[in-house]
Amino acid sequence: MKEIIQEVLAFRDERDWKKYHNEKDLAISISLEANELLENFQWKTSKEALAESKENIKEEVADILIYLIQLADKMEINLEEEVSRKMIKNAEKYPVNRKGEAVK
């Protein structure tokens, strides 16, 4: 993941955009991008959405991760470590013997 983090941060710094970045607006940006992703599925089944707009869906997925990387940099957190830590918490919340139960 280091390579894409470096790409994203180099892109930001070449444009001198870090000065605009604050955590609240980055969180807003993630919600906006998540809804641009979701827009592809409006009035459609998953199958229809993928048939019509798979390329755009992939781009919106990338946009969300790009903003996550920038928020993580701003907060000085390591995304991979945070995921690992959260997975441990999730494993306690949803022990394996509850197999097949609905995910929250």
- CA nearest to 64, candidates 2, 3, 4, 104: 4
What's the closest the beta carbon of residue 46 comes to a copy of itself, in angstroms? 4
Conformational region of residue 99, where left means phi above 0, alpha means psi within -120 to 50, and beta covers everything else: beta
State in Å, rounded, how far the first CA of the chain is from the last one.
27
Q: Could you count the other beta carbons within 10 Å of the beta carbon of residue 33?
A: 20
Check binding of 14 to a copy of itself (CB under 8 A).
yes
What's the closest the beta carbon of residue 7 comes to a copy of itself, in angstroms? 5
What's the closest the beta carbon of residue 72 comes to a copy of itself, in angstroms? 7
Q: Which of residues 28-87 bind a copy of itself (CB under 8 A)?
A: 28-46, 49-50, 54, 57-59, 61-66, 68-69, 71-72, 75, 77, 79-80, 82-87
